Amino acid sequence: MKEKTKERLLVISPHTADWIWRCGGTVATYLKAGADVTVVCLTLGARGESGELWKHAGITTEEVKNIRREEVTNVAKKLGVSQLEVWDYDDCPLIAGPEILQRLNVKIREVRPTVIITHDQFDCTNFDHAVAYEIVSKALLMSLQRGIFSEGLDPIKNVQVYGMEPGFSEQSGFVPQVYIDITNVYDEKEAAMACVKSQPNTPIRHTYATLIRGKQAKVMPGGEKIKYAECFSARFPIIVEEKLP
């Protein structure tokens, strides 16, 4: 019997909090199953996602960044994510330039993920979200090529890229293709979301989203016990070994 490959999940988030709202439960689920999980935050979200912090008179960019960095570090500890990187590129706008593409290409080759999670390609909630999808798509393509010098790292085989559900799904035309049951880890996700005090009004929106998706999943085959679910789109068609009934 062929030995099952250990799952290696690579989460690529444009800002420090995006992944927490949208796939924190999935990350916790992977970790409980023994998978290796690496989270890369391309920016701290200091410009475009820290509006509450900028209300404090005299606060500096560096102070905002330090608060955001501390928040995501605390989240990682809550969820048990030991491999967290914050790259601190500018946000609002995030630019898909050659430096960040090459750096992510190298990181993908290092991690050699079996699955990647980032934003959905049509996420219009924030300009940076769709750019993050562009960066991931281009860096993944680079990571497949032998002709791109990448610090001596071999290319990888292509892997599935799942797009996280946007904050406002209907506006982005998001259609869920995969439901992940996070019922057993929802308390952990809730505790993690509470660490992000710079965005106090965001958790409730995503709590409602996971409840609604849980109700949808509940009436699907095999979903009877689901209460909370996170949803994703799939970059590539999903190939399964099982035969259709």
**pLDDT value, residue 245:** 59
Place of tokens 């080759």: 109
User: E strands within 5-77?
Assistant: 8-13, 36-43
DSSP bridge pairs for 86:
41
Query: Model pTM?
Result: 0.94
Q: How is residue 80 written in tokens?
A: 């048990």
Digit-coded pLDDT (tens) for 62-85: 999 999 999 999 999 999 999 999
Are residues 195 and 78 in contact, defined by beta-carbon separation less than 8 angstroms?
yes
Question: Which of 79-83, 105-109, 171-175 comes out lowest in average pLDDT?
Answer: 171-175
Q: How is residue 191 written in tokens?
A: 């505790």
User: Domains in the chain and their CATH numbers?
Assistant: 8-234 (3.40.50.10320)
- Name the DSSP letter for residue 2: P
Are residues 105 and 147 in contact, defined by beta-carbon separation less than 8 angstroms?
no
Phi, psi dihedrals of residue 178, rounded to the nearest 5°: -135, 130
Digit-coded pLDDT (tens) for 113-168: 999 999 999 999 899 999 999 999 999 999 999 999 999 999 999 999 999 999 88
